[in-house]
Amino acid sequence: MALTSTIGIGGEAATRSVHDQLTDARPDRTGFVFRLLLLGSLGVSLLVLAILFYDVVTTGAGVFTDRAEAFLSGSLRTKADAAGVFQAIRGTFWIGVFVVVFSFPIGVASAVYLEEYSSKGRLARFLDVNIRNLAGVPSIVYGILGLTIFVEQLSGITGGRSLMSAGITLAILVLPIVIITSAEAVRAVPQALREAAYGVGATRWEVTRGQVLPYALPGIITGTVLALARAIGEAAPLLLCGAVTGLLPGREGLLDPSQLQDRFTALPIVIAEWARNPRAGFSEIAAAAIIVMLVIVLAMNTVAILLRNRYETKRS
Amino acid sequence: MASTSTTKLTEPATVDPNVDVTPETRGRPEVSGREVVFEVSDLSVYYGSFRAVRDVNIEINRHEITAFIGPSGCGKTTVLRCLNRMNDLIEIARVEGRVGYHGVDLYDREVNPVEVRRRIGMVFQKPNPFPKSIYDNVAYGPKIAGTKGNMDDVVEKALRGAGLWDEVKSRLKASGMSLSGGQQQRLCIARAIATDPEVLLMDEPCSALDPIATARIEDLMQEIKDEYTIVIVTHNMQQAARVSDRTAFFTTEVNPESDTRTGLLVEADSTDKMFSNPSDERTENYVTGRFG
């Protein structure tokens, strides 16, 4: 309703008139319904998560109360009450190492090239679209790539079906994600900052090294850790690259590099294997392995948030 | 000596062993008997196929303050950014004509834009300190230029030059972002003069500042103009009248076929003449407030 003119109405009458017009609230029913709908959607996703979490914790908690240490340090066994996840943690750890060592430098370098160096012509757009598409390619396709290239062609280096083949395959799998998130972080660097550095005679390398990368670092770290979390949750490519689902010989320590060219296992593989095993006790240890995996992912995200906050305070 | 400046511009970060390049003379080629720093002739700037500015001809004199005034979109900033090759950062920008700097065409293929910007510093419209300490902000330019000698002295000299030393000397480690807007802009001036440039380009340096901070910057410009050649873009005609020795008036014309606007330089003359008795009617209309 348009405000009716109050010109010509004196004193109190004017005040009353304006007051009536300003307080004449139109009930916003659609807005209320919309708000409920939004809240409901949020509730659904939180509810699903809560149920999943409750189910996993109630099923798996017993394993930790009974034999936490034995479970965390034990090997794959055919009996549920003797089996442990150490070999799986070890495999997942090394996959994470490969992802960080390969996809972080290559991904960040690619992103910096695309954003800071390449001319923004057709080729750059073509590359950009392709990288975005690569990020959406199903992981099993990457598994076949790993099988063909790292397991078969490069078996002299990787040892064929091995932890190394799987690690590099997963590094390639998440590379597009690292590139996209890093490129977005680099793009978000204010142009004024670049101009300031160019303005005092910095070269492109000096601007990138001294201003752009430090400013973009929090975003790059966040993206990399998200990519890492994605990588260690993948199971399909691992099956093609030599992950073992039954028994795994060998008792190497966590950091022993001699295992890199050997068969391996990883948490997602073990979880899938145990979860579909109908015998008694396996659903419990599957749930316990899920808890281990959730804790690892949660810890990684925490580290990412801490790092991001640290570097964000640095730039203000 | 003019040849010295030519070789130094085209050879990045190398020093001719035959020439005594002390910090005092570095970036300040001695050009005896010659007062002109820039001779811009027939300069046109295109963004893609759009011609933003056309046919600019102007000379900029040494140790003077030259003001570029004119309505929005008339190309003042675009021309300013040609004077230190800052337009190179805009990928679609293309420059035609000649920007002579002590006789060297800045757009010559052999000229290294990094070396150009080291001698021709810039202060931007919005204060843009690095997200680093006050000290590191000022030291950044000299550091990447490989300046020898005591960095503390370089930083102090630049901060004194920008009239900021007394306000920040006790907290050089504090972030440049923690300063007020006016202080940040003076920090940016300190950063620009720390590399000991010959020219300072200022792109509306006071547009984001309050009147007191503005007055402080204007005073500063007067104090340092004996050492630097200053070109300032300003929206504020009073500011141009207050601070500048020479004024260049730009305006726009409509291109009838495409409904776009191209900027052009109407005239440039001593500031007194431009504001009292300009040759061109368009200038008179603008400075008297009848247009723009």
Residues of B in contact with A201 (CB under 8 A): 114-115, 117-118, 141, 144-145, 195
Convert the pLDDT of each residue in A169-188 to its tens digit: 999 999 999 999 999 999 99
Instruction: Say if A173 falls within a structural domain.
Output: yes
Bridge partners of B258, per DSSP, are none
Residues of A in contact with B136 (CB under 8 A): none
The first and second tokens of residue B173, run together, are 């480690």
Which of A250-254, B51-55, B161-165, B263-267 is predicted with the least confidence, judged by mean pLDDT? A250-254
CA distance linking residue B27 with residue A78, whole number of Å: 78
Which listed CATH number (3.40.50.300, 3.40.50.150, 3.30.420.10, 3.50.50.100) goes with B2-287?
Answer: 3.40.50.300
**DSSP classification of residue A4:** P
Task: Indicate the residue of A192, A200, A314 with minimum beta-carbon distance to B140.
Answer: A200
Q: Residue B230: what are its φ and ψ, rounded to 5°?
A: -120, 135
A36 has a chain B CB within 8 A of its CB: no
Percent of chain B with pLDDT over 70: 88
Angle at B43 between CA B41 and CA B49, to 5 degrees: 160
Determine the average pLDDT of the residues in B276-280. Answer: 91
Reported confidence tier of residue B28, pLDDT bands at 50, 70, 90? very low
Instruction: Say if A42 falls within a structural domain.
Output: no
Pairing of strands B260-270, B246-255: antiparallel
The answer to whether A196 contacts B191, with C-beta atoms less than 8 Å apart, is: yes
The answer to whether A199 contacts B192, with C-beta atoms less than 8 Å apart, is: yes
Domain residues for A279? 69-314
DSSP string, A95-108: HHHHIIIIIHHHHH
Domain boundaries, chain B: 2-287
The answer to whether B103 and B77 have CB atoms below 8 angstroms apart is no
Reported confidence tier of residue A311, pLDDT bands at 50, 70, 90? confident
Q: What is the pLDDT of residue B22?
A: 43
Total of domains in chain A: 1
Instruction: Say if A120 falls within a structural domain.
Output: yes
- Give the residue from chain B lying closest to A210, CA to CA: B140
Q: What is the pLDDT of residue A256?
A: 75
Task: Indicate the residue of A199, A206, A316 with minimum beta-carbon distance to B131.
Answer: A316
Reported confidence tier of residue A20, pLDDT bands at 50, 70, 90? confident
- Rounded to the nearest angstrom, the minimum Cα separation between A123 and chain B is 15
Proportion of chain A in helix, strand, coil states, percent, rounded to 5: 75, 0, 25
Q: Which of B89, B123, B187 to mutate to test the interface with A (most CBs of A within 10 A)?
A: B89
The answer to whether B191 contacts A193, with C-beta atoms less than 8 Å apart, is: no
Q: What DSSP element (H or E) covers B36?
A: strand B36-47
Q: What DSSP element (H or E) covers B265?
A: strand B260-270
Pairing of strands B120-123, B199-203: parallel
Instruction: Say if A73 falls within a structural domain.
Output: yes
Helix axis angle, A163-187 to A104-112, nearest 10°: 30
Instruction: Say if A47 falls within a structural domain.
Output: no
Instruction: Say if A211 falls within a structural domain.
Output: yes
SS3 of residue A259 by DSSP: helix
Convert the pLDDT of each residue in B221-266 to its tens digit: 998 999 999 999 998 889 999 999 999 999 998 888 888 889 999 9
A198 has a chain B CB within 8 A of its CB: yes
Of B81, B141, B102, B78, which is closest to residue B10 (Cα–Cα)?
B102
**Residues on chain B bordering chain A, Cβ-to-Cβ distance under 8 angstroms:** 84, 86, 89, 91, 114-115, 117-118, 121-122, 124, 126, 128-131, 140-141, 144-145, 175, 177, 188, 191-192, 194-195
The first and second tokens of residue A132, run together, are 């975005």
Complex-level ipTM? 0.84
Centre a 10 Å sphere on the Cβ of residue A135 and count the other Cβ atoms it contains.
Answer: 18
- Rounded to the nearest angstrom, the minimum Cα separation between A241 and chain B is 45
Q: What is the pLDDT of residue B189?
A: 94
Reported confidence tier of residue B33, pLDDT bands at 50, 70, 90? very low
Q: What is the pLDDT of residue B140?
A: 95
A313 has a chain B CB within 8 A of its CB: no
Residues of B in contact with A215 (CB under 8 A): 131
- Give the residue from chain B lying closest to A211, CA to CA: B130
Instruction: Say if A291 falls within a structural domain.
Output: yes
CA distance linking residue A155 with residue B259, whole number of Å: 65
Convert the pLDDT of each residue in B194-228 to its tens digit: 999 999 999 999 988 888 889 989 999 998 999 99
Residue A85 sits in a domain whose CATH number is 1.10.3720.10
Convert the pLDDT of each residue in A26-60 to its tens digit: 778 899 999 999 999 999 999 999 999 999 999 99
Handedness of CA A52, A55, A60, A64 (dihedral sign): positive
Q: What is the pLDDT of residue A5?
A: 57
The whole-model pTM stands at 0.81
Instruction: Say if A283 falls within a structural domain.
Output: yes
CA distance linking residue A195 with residue A190, whole number of Å: 9
